[in-house]
Copies of this chain bind each other. A is one copy, B any other.
Amino acid sequence: MRQEKTDLRREAGQRTRDDLLTAALGLLAERGQEGVTLREITQNAGANVAAVSYHFGSLKALCEVTIEHALERYLDAQIRELDALAETATLSELAEAFARPMMNALAAGGRELAVMRTVARVGIDPPEGWERLYGKFEQARQRALRVLATNLPEVDERELVFRVRCAAGMLNWLALAPIGTELAAEPADRVERMLIPVVTGAFRGAR
């Protein structure tokens, strides 16, 4: 009983913290780091303005924690998909694994899509502390590069790196641009049937 009370009390503080993170994620996805204000976050979270300083130290720190959470979640999911690939995977299978986390988010919409939007913005305006996740970032890229090199042994590696970055950028764009919200209204399998060939084609290249 006393322990229950402890947990309940701790939940009160934790709840405010989580509400702030959720509100920050939504606004960061919508407007980016420059367009977010402390008062709007706290209002959406139903909290006092001082709560941000109390729980995170500053607005910037809250944004960094939020972005880092989103980025780590995305990279973990993508690495998981890529690691599940066979050594002999085709370009189409690579494209599917590479795009899977983004496709799932596009199909789910809501908070999942907000995570992706926030992640995509990192590629344009990198926040300060993001170097901490650079390792995971490189891990995903290297895994994709291996499969790519197996399928396209005649293509220069620098070009393969470029294609991975192009494909990643295209997926990020889908999350950020209005087309992302449009796709969220489509059946998931239809989105997949449209998107996979494009990513595969970008990987393969064509003259």
Chain A contact residues, CB within 8 Å of chain B? 31-32, 34-35, 91-92, 123-124, 126, 158-159, 162-163, 165-166, 169-170, 172-174, 176-179, 194-195, 197-198, 200-207
Contacts and interface: CB of A to CB of B under 8 A. Distances in A.
Given A124-B176, A159-B194, A172-B173, 7 more contacts: A123-B173, A123-B177, A169-B169, A169-B177, A170-B173, A170-B202, A206-B206
Contacts of A195: 162, 166
Nearest to A31: B34
12 contacts: A35-B35, A123-B176, A126-B178, A159-B194, A165-B177, A166-B170, A166-B174, A169-B174, A170-B202, A197-B207, A201-B204, A202-B202
Contacts of A172: 173
Contacts of A126: 178
A206 B166 contact: no
A198 B207 contact: no
A200 B194 contact: no
A85 to B, nearest CB: 17
A169 B165 contact: no
Contact of A169 (B158, B170, B206): B170
A205 to B, nearest CB: 4
Contacts of A170: 166, 169-170, 173, 202
A198 B194 contact: no
A114 to B, nearest CB: 14
Contacts of A194: 158-159, 162
